[in-house]
Amino acid sequence: MPWLTRFLPQTMAATVAWVGIQSASAQSPVGERLPTSAAAPVEKIAPMPPAAPPVTAPVVTPMAVPAPAPVPDGGACPACGGSGCDSCQPFNFKKVPPVRTQTRAGMFPIPPSGKGAYNLLAAVQGKEVDAPPKFGYAPSALQPLPFYDGDWRYLDDPKTPPKDRLDELKRIHLGDDWLMAVGGQAWTRYMNEYSSRLTNTNNVYQLSRFRPYLDLWYKDVFRFYVEANVTYTQFQDVAPLVIDESGPDIQNLFIDVKLGDVANAPVYLRAGRQELSLGSQRLISALDWANTRRTFQGLRLLRTGEKLDFDAFVLQPVVPNANKLDSGDNNQLFAGTFMTYRPKKGQAIDLYYLILDNVNNVTQQGIVRAPATTHTVGGRYYGDKDLNDCYKLLWDVEGGLQFGQRGQQDIFAGFASAGAGINFRKAAWNPTLWATYDYASGDDSPNGGSRYSTFNQLFPFGHYYLGWADLVGRQNIHDVNFSLYLYPQKWLTTNIQVHNFWLDSVRDGLYNTAGVAYRRDATGRASPYVGSEVDIINNFHLTRRTDFLVSYAYLFGGGFLRDTAAPGAGTNASTLAALFNIRY
């Protein structure tokens, strides 16, 4: 990352020098009003010998203090040399940082509301509140959104002050113009995989992660954000995945510079290493399930508004490396624009155009995946609507087309996701039920013909959408799935998922959650039915800052997995995970 190491020190040095000049401008002192002394009275007395005349106290006239001169338009404030009298007052950080309205993922639940205990410790102590408490972190072990998008502004409100010393770390006011936040996360995860990656090898191992961060703002015009990511794995019986371990590394390191306001909303230019999670995260996600979260480096232009958010970016994916500092992949360029419009509360529309240019040579199961240049145009519409006092209707529809070039072949591919759900508002345990169909195109002749039609899933949060066993990705697949959310307690979330998988093209490969082809029958004689999967996930929100998640996923292999099971390959597989997570 040579360009980043040159650019950031120069930028920070110039910024520190500029801030030092501004801080040197001191406010001119104003004279104080002096007290007035009156003359002492003189009494008449008996005649006496002549004496010196009596001395009376002098009368002191108060010093007149001229009123401050008015500030002409575009002129400088005579008191502080700033751009106006507001410069003499502390900066108002009420809207800093500008936090976006959180976009819901697909198959979203309707969390509980009303009076109750929202974590296990509060339930044990008998402490109930009238509504879900405000907090800058999600009340679950997984938090797909970046830490830099956390909303802690409520802590400046006297009605919702900090509750402990860790809260106080989030809104540290350094003088009048600087704001700092410190925080982080640590987790440990136990994994038990039966027939790990369908290899007939059982794999029992541990993952650990530590992510401290520092966020520094100068007013609303400049931001410096840095976040480390320390990840390790132990006891693996098969070769660790690339995302399992990268040692001590830099997860985020960027600066934001305000360019101005567009339609009363701020526009910033972000430069450096940065996570990216947009929309449903079907195509762009930081991938929180991975021990080493996904990140990028480059430039991003972002506008955050009440109803409209807009992003434009030019980035390189960062490749985890367990033996040295991670670096960007110079053979890949990811660019695009992404817009989210919220017509009303609870509803949103996404529109996006994305480009992935990959000049790496990638071949999997005999299928040439790259070099390729892929353009993706897509959109999404999701929301909810109250049907009556008892039922809430939910929906989520997204789709896109891909075109471009792979070698001598033209790319034409696509994906679609359509889901409908219902929330039973008055029923016990607040159930939410979803039925969803997911499709991503495949190719009957991946290496032949004039057209290539296997969809490229880009950088998704596949673990959330296509089974917690991580054996199916959004490429060459049909998935009919059902999801049920239950809240036996306000601090306990239970999610049950059932998936049914078929290949779109039997001659194409079966791709895992990372988009890697790992099973294929090039003859097309195998069954297209991949199998069924059942997932059970329980999240225990123990305290405001700690969560314990237990998940179990079992894939019942279908005809395709049986027909392609070479010696040493498995047909069925399961994954048990136990995750303890703490954030500060």
Which is nearest to 479 in space by CA: 446, 439, 445? Answer: 439
Say if residue 30's pLDDT is above 50.
no
- The residue ranking higher by pLDDT, 77 or 466, is 466
Cis amide leading into 97 (omega within 30): yes
* pLDDT at site 257: 98
Q: What percent of the chain has pLDDT over 70?
A: 85
474 lies in some domain = yes
pLDDT in tens, 139-196: 999 999 999 999 999 999 999 999 999 999 999 999 999 999 999 999 999 999 999 9
Residue type, 505: S
In which band, very low, low, confident or very high, does the pLDDT at 568 lie, cut at 50, 70 and 90? Answer: confident
Average pLDDT of every residue of the chain? 88
* pLDDT at site 59: 43
**SS3 category, 4:** helix
479 lies in some domain = yes
Interatomic CA distance for residues 461 and 486, integer angstroms: 22
Q: Average pLDDT in the 424-428 region? A: 95
pLDDT in tens, 535-557: 999 999 999 999 999 999 999 99
How does strand 172-174 pair with strand 546-557? unpaired
167 lies in some domain = yes
* pLDDT at site 19: 34
**SS3 category, 190:** strand
The Cα-based distances of 48 to 53, 195, 253, 308 in angstroms read 12, 124, 92, 95
For 23, residues 6+ apart whose C-beta sits below 8 A from its C-beta are none
Say if residue 41's pLDDT is above 50.
no
- The residue ranking higher by pLDDT, 40 or 570, is 570
Interatomic CA distance for residues 407 and 403, integer angstroms: 13
Residue type, 54: P
Domain count, the chain: 1
Say if residue 82's pLDDT is above 70.
no
83 lies in some domain = no
450 lies in some domain = yes
316 lies in some domain = yes
Say if residue 562's pLDDT is above 80.
yes
CA angle (526 as vertex; 510, 405 as ends), nearest 5: 45
* pLDDT at site 71: 44
In which band, very low, low, confident or very high, does the pLDDT at 87 lie, cut at 50, 70 and 90? Answer: low
**By the 8 A CB rule, do 244 and 207 touch?**
yes
Interatomic CA distance for residues 504 and 510, integer angstroms: 10
Interatomic CA distance for residues 212 and 523, integer angstroms: 51
In which band, very low, low, confident or very high, does the pLDDT at 86 lie, cut at 50, 70 and 90? Answer: low
Say if residue 230's pLDDT is above 70.
yes
Say if residue 410's pLDDT is above 70.
yes
In which band, very low, low, confident or very high, does the pLDDT at 90 lie, cut at 50, 70 and 90? Answer: confident
**By the 8 A CB rule, do 438 and 477 touch?**
yes
520 lies in some domain = yes
* pLDDT at site 88: 60
In which band, very low, low, confident or very high, does the pLDDT at 68 lie, cut at 50, 70 and 90? Answer: very low
Q: Which helix (H) or strand (E) holds 13?
A: helix 2-24
Say if residue 330's pLDDT is above 70.
yes
In which band, very low, low, confident or very high, does the pLDDT at 65 lie, cut at 50, 70 and 90? Answer: very low
Which is nearest to 170 in space by CA: 145, 152, 189, 184? Answer: 152
pLDDT in tens, 433-449: 999 999 999 999 999 88
Interatomic CA distance for residues 209 and 205, integer angstroms: 14
Range of the domain at 342: 94-583
Q: Write down the H helix ranges in 499-565.
A: 559-563
- Cβ-based burial of 363 (10 A; exposed 0-12, middle 13-18, buried ≥19): exposed
395 lies in some domain = yes
In which band, very low, low, confident or very high, does the pLDDT at 378 lie, cut at 50, 70 and 90? Answer: very high
* pLDDT at site 89: 73
For 380, residues 6+ apart whose C-beta sits below 8 A from its C-beta are 279, 280, 348, 349, 350, 396, 397, 398, 399
- CATH number of the domain encompassing residue 350: 2.40.160.100
Interatomic CA distance for residues 506 and 437, integer angstroms: 19
Which two three-digit tokens encode residue 358? 């990959």
DSSP secondary structure string, 270-336? Answer: EEEEE----TTSSSB---TTSSS---EEEEEEEEE-SSEEEEEEEEEEEEP-SSS--EE-TTEEEEE
- The residue ranking higher by pLDDT, 78 or 25, is 78
Q: Average pLDDT in the 447-456 region? A: 94
Q: pTM value?
A: 0.84
**By the 8 A CB rule, do 520 and 366 touch?**
yes
Which is nearest to 511 in space by CA: 440, 567, 448? Answer: 440
Say if residue 308's pLDDT is above 50.
yes
